[in-house]
Amino acid sequence: MSALRRAPLGPSFRRPELIQLDTRERERVRALVRSRRMRCPACDGRRFEVGDTLYLGFLFVDTDLDEYMVALTCTNPRCPAPRTGVQLREHEFLEHQRPREKATGPAG
């Protein structure tokens, strides 16, 4: 057994599979959510903050190779389950292609 650790992982860490979006990409996601009239499944709210994205194509068996899940957080302060997401194609929101091997998570 070992108590050795490289660095403490705080609660605010970002999972290595997650990809941070830039401002333009977040705006594209917001526009898509608006155009699809997406509503919060928990409170029916219509406004969301856009978070990170997860590349699904590599990790999940029945997803297409260009599919991503984008984190959405309902901005309604009374929403009982504000964390949701939207599945998008790469060309719909990404400004530039990310290296997919990185998006699959750390080696090991």
Partner 1 sequence: MTDVTLNYPVWLRIEHWVNLLFITLLIRSGIEILASYPRLHRRNDSKPGSEWARFTTKTMPTDKLYDTLDEEESYSSIVALPGRKKLGMGRRWHFVSLFGWVLTGVAYYILLFATGQWHRYIPYSWSIFPEALDDAWTYLQFQLPPTLPDQPLDALQKLVYASVIFLLAPFQILTGAAQSPAVEARFPWYVKLFGGRQMARTLHGLGLLAFLAFIPVHLIMIGWWGWPELTSLMIFGHVTQLDAAIGVSLGIVAAIVVIHIAATVWSLRSPRQVQRALGAIIMRFRRFALKPLTSRQNYPRSKLSPEHRVNGKPPSCAAYQIMAVHNFADWRLEVGGLVENPMTFSLADLRALREPQTQRVLHNCIQGWSSIGEWGGVPLRSILELVRPLPGAHQICFLTMQNVDRDEPAAAEEGHGQYYEIVDIERAYYPQSLLAYEMNGEPLPIKHGAPLRVRFETQVGFKMAKWIERIEVISEYDGIGYGMGGWREDNVHYDISVGV
Would you tell me how many other CB atoms lie within 10 Å of the CB of residue 77?
A: 8
∠ CA(93), CA(101), CA(7), 5° rounding? 100
Residues 63-68: contacts with CB under 8 Å, at least 24 apart: 64/89, 66/90, 66/91, 68/19, 68/93, 68/94
Binding test (CB under 8 A) with partner 1, winner from 36, 44, 65, 102: 65
Member of 38, 73, 79, 92 binding partner 1 (CB under 8 A): 73
- State yes or no: residue 106 binds partner 1 (CB under 8 A): yes
Q: Report the nearest approach of partner 1 to the CB of residue 71 (Å).
A: 4
Q: Which residues contribute to the site for partner 1 (CB under 8 A)?
A: 1-7, 9, 11, 13-18, 51-54, 56-63, 65, 69-71, 73, 81, 83-85, 87, 100, 104-108
